[in-house]
Each structure stands twice: as structure tokens, then as C-alpha cells.
Structure 1
Amino acid sequence: MDELIRSVSNPVIKSIRKLSENRSERRRTGRFLIEGYKVCIEALRRPGLVELVLLSDEANEMEGALLADATAQAGVELRWVTGSVLRSVSDSQSPQGVTAKCIVPPQFSFAPDSKGPIFWLDQLQDPGNVGAVIRVASAMGHVGVLVSQGSADPFSPKATRASAGQNLVVPILTEFDPQAVAMRCRESGGRVLIADSAGGIPIWEAGGLGNCLVVLGSEGAGPSAEVRALADRTVLIPMDGGVESLNVAVSAGIIAYEAYRSAQIG
């Protein structure tokens, strides 16, 4: 084991803590953090993505050995730290023994997908929901996700955990002109659909969702007025039992599966 970092005042630890706590720092540096053995191992298999791995001296012995070997093979710097130091840079209640600093992947080069919809997250302020929708998009093979500036950071620690590291896999676009993406969608034969539990047509009556943008808005107020003005139609998921709405990630899963199902049956 190399020299153990024991102080939270160590310059490396201070820089990592800034990335954990500060969205502007992540944006300025183009770096973010991932946690956990499986996510870090997968990231290390992607050349040029990981810059630094912090491994706790309290980590599982076998996992620690495998991570040390993976970092060596990838040519990535590995620093051993005490468990208390690693906990100081994590916002998780139960840190998983390893944290890695990664390069934010390139922005999604937006183009509508004829095979299915692309989720557009607008004013979605819970990072856990942002991450969970990204995970849904990955599971259903979506080509990318749009995340508006008014939404939570898709590369925050909480969003990264909720995505199970899929924000490393699914291309994400955070800097875009809403009118431009809506126009490109329509030029490809698609539509801008707003998912809203307050009203609209059932999702299965909306027709094929290929080339469409499906807007998922904030947990309370929904999408912004600007984005609502760009919509071609509002869709909903009909519900029984007096339930007024679903968690946005649950809604995303239902919509994504409905798009997949309808595409399969033609």
C-alpha cells in the first residue's frame, strides 16, 4: 500500500470535496465523482475516463485488490485514504469504500431517434429522480437524454448513484436551445409531448413515439411555460384508485416501456 492519506486537509481531498459539494466546480473543471466497486470497475474499463481513484483502507480486501489491479492496468493514479477521510468527501450515508474522479463525457449530439423517444427533463430538481430517469433511458436503449439548465445536475453524487453509473453510458445534453431541439424533432417527423398527470390523452393513444421528445417536468409545477409552449400534445398515464400522480422516474419507465412495446408490435 502506498502512503495513506489521513488528513481531510490534504490538497487532493480538498479538491475532491469541492467536486462533491459544488455544481459550479464540476462544471468549471469538467470533472465529477463516482462511488462503489462495480461502477468504478466499469469506468476503469473505459479508456481516458477515470483520472484518480481514492480507495479506503477499510474497503473489502478482495475488492480493494481487484481495484488496485484495475487502476494499474488502466494507468490511473490510486491513492489510499482512511475510512474517515473517504467519508468526508461523500454525501452518502453509507460510502462504499471507493471514490473515483472522472471526466464528464462529451455532450450528447442531439438527433431524434426513429426507434423511440428521447426524454427531456425540464425543471426536474430532485437529483435522485434525474439519475433514475437516466437509468431508465439506459435500460430501454435510448440514444440520449436532454437535461435543461433548470434541472438538477445529472453528474451530482446523488444523481450518479441513482443512475447506477449510467450517466457514464447514456449521452446527456445540458446546453441547448429549447426551440432548436423542438424544431429538429419536428423536421424528423416527431413531436414534442409533455407528460402531465393533470390532463392529456393516454400515452398509448399518442401513436408511435419514434423521433419524439417526451418532456418530464418538475415534481410539483411540471415543465416551464417556455417548454409548454413548444409542445404538440400532452399525454398522461391513466390511473385508478384515486392516485393523482406517480414518481417521475416510475412514469418514465412506463412511457419508455410503452414506446418499446408499441414499436415491437409495429
Structure 2
Amino acid sequence: MSTSEPGPSEWSVPGQVGVGPWEGPLPDGDRWDPELLEQGDRRNVVDAYRYWRREAVAEDLAARAHPFHVAIENLGHDHNIGTVVRTANAFGAGGVHIVGRRRWNRRGAMVTDRYLALHHHPEAAGLVGFAREHGLALVAVDNLPGATRLERTELPRDCVLLFGSEGPGLSPEIRAAADLAVSIAQFGSTRSINAGVAAGIVMHSWVRRHADLSDAW
């Protein structure tokens, strides 16, 4: 890009991620981050959010968020939570709920947790109360007796998708509170699939049914 044209410049270092310092007259508006404009933006964000303040990105995502939330139980410092959070960000979830332990391994989230509404509930009752207060159906995702096939089920538009800890799955409290239970069709030898993978499958199923794809990047 010519320096006479305002906008982002390319990084001079081969393989560098992101864009370089802004070239030309600086843009107006409070969404822009002065430091990023001056030094360049190497964050893992879509081009539409280049040079935006983190708070501005979070506000815009919240305004565009879908009416589904994601909840995962953190009973044993589950390493899948970061992946679930990153996927929830990608699919525009209205929020992510951590049930159980407050601390979780954030490495897999790749900083996407900074742009999402994160909620913590020490016990399942807190999550259930949130769902009831906001009119959200509780959808348990597990190989439970009586669960319907996700592939043959229409997920509610306003809902919380519930995922258990790796291994034990959903707790009895969460199972009892669920309005709907769905399972993912499997054809191999393993009893279950990774919780992070399952979350991505179910969120994408919601997107296929309810999302306006014209809003996708």
C-alpha cells in the first residue's frame, strides 16, 4: 500500500501475523486504539476489528451475539474449556458459563475470552437460575438414556448448550434440570468424543438452523 493512501501497512518481516502501523491520516472515533494504530496490530482478530480497542470489539460482538449460551462444567480443571470458549467466540455465542471451579486453563482460548461475556457459577443451581431468569432452554449434550439424536433434533433458538467435564460427563444436577437432552451420532469404538469437539459440532448445528449467514465474516 502506498503511504499516500490511509490505512494499514503490511509487515516487513516475512511470516509476521497482522498488519503494521496505520499509514496516513489517523481515523476518527473512540473505537480506535492509539497504540495499535502507531505500532501495528498483531492480534488474532478478523480484519474488521483491526486497530480497535479490546473493549470496542467486545461491545460490538455483544451487540451482534446470538441468543444461545454455552455452559461447561469445570470439575477437574478441564483442559477443553479453552477450546470451548474459542469456539463460542467464533460462533457468536451470547455468553459462556463455567460451572464449578472458577480457575480454568485459558491457553486454548487464544485470548478470545477477553471478548466474550464470561459467567461463573460455583454450583449448577446458579446456572439453572440464570437460564430460567432469561428464558433460555437448557440443552444437555451427552450420551444420556432417552437423549434424542442431534442430527434429528431442532435445537431451541434461545438456549444454553450444556457440556460436562471430560470423562464423567454432565453432573446429575445438570441432567435433572435439562429441558432437552441430545446426543451426537457416533460410529466408532470410543464411548464419547472430546468435549471441545462436541461443543463445536453442536454450536455449528445451532448456526445452521438459526443464524443469519449474511452476518458472518
TM-score, normalised to structure 2's length? 0.61
Alignment partners' CA distance in 1, 2:32 and 2:118: 17
- Is the contact made by 2:69 and 2:96 (CA closer than 8 Å) also made in structure 1? yes
Report the Cα distance in structure 1 between the residues aligned to 2:99 and 2:133, rounded to whole angstroms: 21
Relative contact order, CA 8 A, sep 6+: which one is greater? 1
Equivalent pairs, count: 161
Post-superposition shift, 1:46? 9.1
Select which of 112, 118, 121 maps to 1:166: 112
Deviation beyond 6 Å, 4+ runs, structure 1: none
Match of 2:193 in 1: 246
Match of 1:201 in 2: 148
Alignment of 1:148-163 (within 5 A): 148-150=99-101, 153-154=103-104, 159-163=105-109
Q: How does 1:219-238 map to 2 (within 5 A)?
A: 219-238=166-185
Deviation at 1:191, TM superposition (A): 1.5
**What is the CA distance between 1:222 and its match in structure 2?**
1.7
| Root mean square deviation of aligned Cα | 3.6
Which sections of structure 1, spanning at least 5 residues, go unmatched?
A: 1-36, 39-44, 48-65, 71-112
Supply the distance in 1 between the matched residues of 2:168 and 2:106 (Cα, whole angstroms): 24
- Pairing partner for 1:131 from 75, 78, 82: 82
Supply the distance in 1 between the matched residues of 2:181 and 2:71 (Cα, whole angstroms).
14
Give the CA deviation at 1:161: 1.6
Q: What SS is found at the alignment partner of 1:194? A: strand
Q: CA deviation at 1:180?
A: 5.2
Task: Provide TM-score, normalisation by structure 1.
Answer: 0.51
Residue 210, structure 1, aligned to residue 157, structure 2:
yes
Q: CA deviation at 1:198?
A: 4.2
Paired with 2:32 and 2:123, the residues of 1 have a C-alpha distance of 30
| Residues 100-137 of structure 1: per-residue CA shift (max 9 Å, x gap) | xxxxxxxxxxxxx9944211111353442111100010
Structure 2 unaligned regions, length at least 5: 1-15, 18-30, 40-63
